[in-house]
Amino acid sequence: MLKTNRDFYLAVLALIDEHRDTSRTLEQFIHTVLAASFSRAEYNGLTLDELFALLEAGLEREPGPDDALPLSLWDASFGFGRWFSVAAQQVRELRAMRTSRVLEDSMRYFGIHGQGERDWYNFDPLTFLECGTAGYFDGWRPGDPGGRIALPNPDSEAPPESPDPIVIEGLDWRQIGNYFIMCQSCE
C-alpha cells in the first residue's frame, strides 16, 4: 500500500525499471491513462494506489485508436473535467507535434513550446513519469536508482538533508492534472 510521497516515487521507479524497453509513445501512454481513468470519473479523486494503477495501465494496456476518446469534450477547472482537459490537451499537443514531425528533433529534450501555455521537456513515458514524480511529489533521495543527484547548496558545506516522507491520503482530480503538467515540464 502506497502511503507517502517516498513510497510513490519508489513505486514509479520500479514501474519504470519494469518497462525500461517499452516502445510505447508518450501520446499512447497519456491516451491510455486517460481512457483507464473513466472508470473512476465519479470519484472526487484517487489514492496513491489508484493513481499508480492508472500509470501502470498506461504502460500495460493495449492503447486504443487515436479517435477512441472525444479529446475536445471538456474544458473545466475542477473535478474530473479538470484532469480530462489537461490530459486531452497533452494528447492533442503530442499528436500535433508528431504529425508536424517536431518530435523527430534530436534536441527536443531541451524544450519545445507546445500549442498550449506550457513548454515540453519530456517526450517518452519513462522520463515523463520520473521527472514529474520527482518534481510534484518529491520523495526522491540521493543514491536512488533514478539517477538524480542533489546539487550542493552554495551557502552551506553540509550535504542536503533528506526530508521526512509526507503521508498523502489522496489526490483530487485537479492535483492529478497538475501532476501531469509537472510530468510534461519538469526536468
For 53, other C-beta atoms within 10 Å of its C-beta total 15
The C-alpha cell that represents 65 in the structure block: 485508436
For helices 173-185 and 125-137, the axis angle rounded to 10 degrees is 120
pLDDT at 70 over 80: no
63 or 123, which is more confident? 123
The reported pLDDT for the residue numbered 76 is: 60
pLDDT at 100 over 70: yes
151 or 140, which is more confident? 140
Give the percent of the chain with pLDDT over 70.
Answer: 85
pLDDT (tens digit per residue) in 3-37: 999 999 999 999 999 999 999 999 999 999 999 99
pLDDT at 64 over 60: yes
The reported pLDDT for the residue numbered 12 is: 96
Domain ranges of the chain: 5-62+72-146+166-185
Mean pLDDT, the chain, integer: 86
- Band (pLDDT 50/70/90 cuts) for residue 162 is low
**All residues at 6 or more sequence positions from 121 whose CB lies less than 8 Å from its CB, including other chains:** 109, 110, 111, 131, 184, 185, 186, 187
Here the contacts of 20-24 (C-beta below 8 Å, separation 24 or greater) are 20/126, 22/59, 22/125, 22/126, 24/58, 24/59, 24/63, 24/125
